[in-house]
Every structure is written in structure tokens, then in C-alpha cells.
Structure 1
């Protein structure tokens, strides 16, 4: 069975036409993209690399990485999101290959073909995140980079990512996140280590609702990013 929740796919498919509207429900992705893009590029050196973006949605990160000189493949299971991503290429002129395929399916088809794999804001939306992590190690070359980002599981994360973002600030539609699916950094690190992806760095992403600014720092209590390397 495909590792996907039909209700999650439907939720994002209904919003797909707004993916590239920076004032829409996807505004947070537009605002954090420069931060995560520079962090990834600084660690992996994207220029000339073959990169896979898992759960690419409408292609915000995929296009950003292509702009850094990477040869990018973006995969997702939402037909509508992929249609929007492909349509936006006509406007941006970016070179990204979008495919409808799961990470697990592509891992069986193209093992070890990518220098860099990104899986951002996606693990908390699938039934079996550990399966995606295992697919990532199969997809990346020995010595290659894998990047994850997701949401911590603790009371503060619930307060900020669900109550604050969805109900108070209304930055995201209600029901975007399910607290039960949030992932502690220790759990993600354990899954990664168990398949040969030892973590190299963990960094937090914070947001100030007054200044409406995001920044990367040491606070991983809500949103965080993890850099791993496949063992040779």
C-alpha cells in the first residue's frame, strides 16, 4: 500500500491552485523558503548536484534549488499540486522534472541516484514516516546528503503550530496539522540512524508574530530541520 493518507492529499489538493500566491495559506512556505534553501545549499553545495525533493507540492523549494544550479526532480502524490508545479515552470523558466510517485516506489526504481534528498514539511502528514526515512537512504548516494524538516511533539509545539498558527494568527487553515503526527527530534534521529543516516546537525526555525519574521537558531522546540549523511 502507498504510504499516504487520502484525507491529507485531498486537503492540500483543494488548496493547490493557491500554492504560488504568497498571500495565501502557503505564505509561510514562501517566507521560510529562503532560509531553508540557503541552509541546504550551504551544507550540500547544490550547484551541479542531482537533487530529489520528496513531497514537493507546488514546487516552491524545488524551483529554489534549481535556481541554485541543481538538477532537480520533484515528487508528490497530488495530481493537482503537480499540475500547478508544472504550470509555474512556464512562468519561471525553471528546469524541474516533476513526477507522481511515492518515495518508496522511486527508491525501488532508482536506488542511489541522487546526491541530495530533501523531505521538508512532509513527514508529519504520512501514516508511516519511518518508511519515508528508509526510502531516503535508498535514494541517496553513499556520502550523500538528506535533509528533513518537521514539527516537534510537545505542548509548546501544539500551542504554537496548531492553536497559534491555525486558530489565533490564522496563518494556516484549521486542521492543517494533527498533533499526534508530530515527531520528536530524538525519534527522527533514531529512525535515521537505524537505516544508516547519522544526523550531522539539527537546527530550529522560529517565528515572531509581532515582527512577522522567521529565523534559524538553536530553539528546536517547535519547527526544526535535520541534516543527515548516508554512510559510505
Structure 2
């Protein structure tokens, strides 16, 4: 599956969440996704932090052995807003049967090419999540995507619809605080840590807002954990939610 993008049966839906300008922005960066010193350098630094949280959440949710190198064997995984596969590839190496969906065809092409080079069997699909007849998955992830969609309620609803009963969802997104306005939008873009135009502060969601969105979709949100930065530690998991946070969600009840 990794040598080409999939053709997937489409279903009619009015829940369009893709912003064309956002897809174009990230699609233009596709060729640099896998360059740790390129325009996606911040994501390369962020990825190990997200994976640390995710691995612990997976072990806790399925009562797994923390020594097991492939805790997702036998599990289906969906990563939405997958870019060029920075998260999909480690999830595949953890044993998951991984599907990645992204709004930008350029990203999907780069993801498929990179997965092929690593002999990883990952299914990649370009387009609107609501238009894909994908079924349900044991693990659904969507990292740094919520802030880029046009309709957050519709998007979270689509994510929830893809989660199997007993499944686990993991989401990360910037918090809408004065600290994130100053550092993630102002400073980070000014010094080139992220490309200009990547973030729009008014589209960030607070943990309380995300909890409400998840509840409306029938999901219960776990306790959020911050992703903070310090000169000594770099990016790291923290109790400080001011910049960015990561959460789990499960079906309520």
C-alpha cells in the first residue's frame, strides 16, 4: 500500500472541514517534510514528545507490556492530517496497520514515497475525511491539525465517527493564550522556526473548548498534558498548558 495513494469509496457529506488555503500552504512545504533542518524542523523536534505521550497512553489503555517494542500489533490506526507521515511511520513500526489522511495531495505523495523507501506498508489517502468510507479504527490520532480546520465541531465529529468502540483517540493542538500568541505565532514565525502563515492564533482551541467539542461528539477527554519548552529541556511534556497540549479521548460512558 505504501507505493501509491489509495482510491477509496467516497460518500456524500456536507461536513467539509478543509480550508483550501491551508492545504495549499502545507502542500507547498511537502518536499521539505522529512528534512529535520527544513521548514518542518519544529515538527521533528515535537514528534518524539508526542510519541512518548502516545506510547504511554497506548500501554495504559490496552494494559500493554511497556517492554514490548510493537504494542500496536493487531490494532488499526488512523492518523488525520498526517502530512508526509512523520507520525504514521513510527506508528507502523509499533506494529499498527496505519492509514494516513491529509488534505494536501503533495503531502500524500511525499509520504507514500518515503514509506516505500523504508519498506513500510502504510495506506495514504488525500482528501476530505468526511468523504472517505474508511470504517473504524482502534487508534485515531490527529496532531497539530484542529487549529487548521474550517469547522472544528464537524471535524471532531468525523474523528469520533472513525473511532471503534473501546478505541483510543490522541489529539494535540496549541492553546489559545497570550503566551502562545507571543511565542508560537510572533516569535517562532519571526525567526523562521515555523514558516510564516502557519498559525492563526484566533483558531487555537483551549482545553475547555476541546473538551466541549469532544463531549458533543460523544467522547470523554482525559486530563490534558502540556507540551512546553525550556532551554534546558527543549520541548517536553509538562503540567504547563500555556503553549501546546496533548490529550486522550474515549467514548463516553
Bin of the TM-score, shorter chain as denominator length: over 0.9
Structure 2 partner of 1:84: 110
Structure 2 partner of 1:62: 88
Q: Summarize deviations over 1:44-83 as a string: whole Å, max 9, x none.
A: 2442210000000100000011111111000012110000
Aligned residues of 2:104 and 2:127 also touching (Cα < 8 A): no
TM-score by length of 2: 0.86
Q: Summarize deviations over 1:161-200 as a string: whole Å, max 9, x none.
A: 1112111x32011111011111111000001012111012
**Greater Cα shift, 182-191 or 92-101:** 92-101
Q: Would you tell me which structure has more helix in proportion to its own residues?
A: 1
Q: Summarize deviations over 1:3-62 as a string: whole Å, max 9, x none.
A: 111111111111110000000110111111112112112212442210000000100000
1:140 lines up with 2:163 in the alignment: yes
Tell me, which stretches of 5 or more residues in structure 2 are unaligned?
A: 1-13, 60-70
Structure 1 partner of 2:183: 160
Secondary structure at 2:157 match in 1: helix
**Greater Cα shift, 41-50 or 217-226:** 41-50
Structure 2 partner of 1:223: 244
1:47 to 69, 72, 97: 72
2:37 to 17, 20, 23: 23
Aligned residues of 2:170 and 2:249 also touching (Cα < 8 A): yes
Q: Summarize deviations over 1:96-125 as a string: whole Å, max 9, x none.
A: 11011322223xx234x2001001100101
**Greater Cα shift, 91-100 or 70-79:** 91-100
2-side partners of 1:44 and 1:69: how far apart?
A: 12
1-side partners of 2:55 and 2:187: how far apart?
A: 30
1-side partners of 2:88 and 2:125: how far apart?
A: 12
Tell me, which stretches of 5 or more residues in structure 1 are unaligned?
A: none
